[in-house]
Amino acid sequence: MLFSSLVFIFRFMPLFFLCYFLTPKSYRNVTLFLGSIIFYAVGEPVYVFLMLTVIVANFVLCVHMARGRGQRGGKRIVAFAMVLDFGLLFVFKYFDFFAGNLNLLFRKDVIPLLHLTLPLGISFYTFQIASYVIDVYRGKIKYTGSLLEFASYVSMFPQLIAGPIVQYPEVSKELRKRKVTLLDIERGLEIFCLGLGSKVLLANKIYTLWNQVQGIGFANLSTPMAWLGAFAYSFHIYFDFWGYSLMAIGLGRMMGFRIPQNFDSPYMVKSATQFWRKWHMTLGRFFREYVYIPLGGNRKGRGRMILNTFIVWALTGLWHGADWNFVVWGLTFFVLLMLEKFIYGKYLERSKVIGHIYIWILIPVTWVIFAVTDFPQLLIYLKQLVGIHTGEVLVKNVQLSRYLEQYAALLLACAFFSTKLPHRIYRRIRGGLVIVAFAVAVFWFSVYELANGANNPFLYFRF
């Protein structure tokens, strides 16, 4: 069930919040947990029990770890928890990928494929549980003795399916005792409506252009048309994921939680290094705190730092999908980050213009690598971007101008909302009648689009 669906907006959401606010404050975790289970069951009824089993198993393991079984015993427990959690993630998400590649390598079916459906949100809740277990082991947090509190933290529906990846300390106080004010409800609704508009009015609309580019056939694209498609997909993935994150933050705010920000104008930076400090920030934080630093970070010399960075970006690529294009996408960023660190990063910092041009050339190319899973087609698209045409160019300048005329206003809107200016405007006028009127207008325009059967995909559901 998408947040941007009419079923969620007009059925689940009002019914949930009605029950939530009618529930006495001391029992609201019960309502939150039950509502989250119902939300998950609507989209993935088969795997509800898998998620519940993982929650209970990790809770029991943390209880044993907290009872003081010594450093060695704690290591064994946390190791077992990681094998359990990431083992399940591997089986459901990566087993067929590795088995299929081994079968290709040996040119026969050495390992039968499982063909399992990927449980919704498993990449997100696995990371969330792992961060909790590791932090309990490190002594960074005190484990909760309440199974309901832990289950509510993991299954909280605003962030369950597509993040942000919330760490336990960010919501621990609110899980025990929270107060929801009228201001929280107002701001939460504002943020939810703005996220809905980002998803429906920007991401979904610009996705139509990307679909049309795919329909033309990559071999038939002119270089300008190929770049137009790359920009379209860049805008789509940003407003799609950012919009969903905003809706999650808004829903959390209405329940009394402060879910962390996941994006901070990532397209307005001057380097790939800065880009990943602004894009999917909670994912980057997880890999930094639980992979890069434990591996030694940059404390053990240049060679070890390069190896650690390589591992992080290979894993980042694989986290997004079990396919080679995602691995290539992740390692492309590894190469860019190393080049910036050791060769030309200091020059990018000196000039905003050069830095922005650099980002607006390289980031769309990386998103093409991300989007096109078929390697031969990906190579064709990359050739079109640099002017090496592999087929008859069907979209001449005249046809290109028609696409630009059709999508000019939308492209300009996407470019504008990618900047920091809308954020600055919002901070100045939030709480006033202007932003309320704007949010209401965005909401009803979005509902109108959804009611008219607008295409409503969500990219990160597959992760």
Catalytic residue ranges:
320
Give the DSSP per-residue string, 208-224: HHHHHHHHH-GGG--HH
Burial 404-417 (b: 16+ CB within 10 A, else e): eeebeebbebbeeb
Other CB atoms within 10 A of residue 334 CB:
19
Please give the Cα distance from 413 to 416 (Å, whole number).
Answer: 5
On the 0-12 / 13-18 / 19+ scale of CB atoms within 10 A, 217 is middle
The token pair that represents 292 in the structure block: 């890069």
Contact between residue 364 and residue 230 where contact means Cβ atoms under 8 Å apart: yes
The alpha-helical segments, DSSP class H, found in 418-452 are: 421-429, 433-451
**How far is CA 263 from each of CA 120, 221, 301, rounded to the nearest angstrom?**
22, 32, 31
Interacting residues of 210 by C-beta distance below 8 A, sequence separation 6+: 229, 232, 233, 236, 371
Contact between residue 195 and residue 246 where contact means Cβ atoms under 8 Å apart: yes
Burial 371-387 (b: 16+ CB within 10 A, else e): bbeeeeebebbbbbbee
Closest Cα to residue 226, out of 392, 386, 22, 448? 386
The alpha-helical segments, DSSP class H, found in 256-390 are: 272-278, 281-287, 302-320, 324-339, 345-350, 352-371, 375-385
Closest Cα to residue 157, out of 317, 313, 34, 53? 34
Rounded to the nearest 5°, which phi and psi values hold at 131? -65, -40
Cis peptide before 164 (omega within 30 of 0): yes
| Long-range contacts at 287-296 (CB < 8 A, ≥ 24 apart) | 287/312, 287/315, 287/316, 288/312, 289/131, 290/130, 290/131, 290/134, 291/315
Closest Cα to residue 175, out of 6, 29, 326? 29
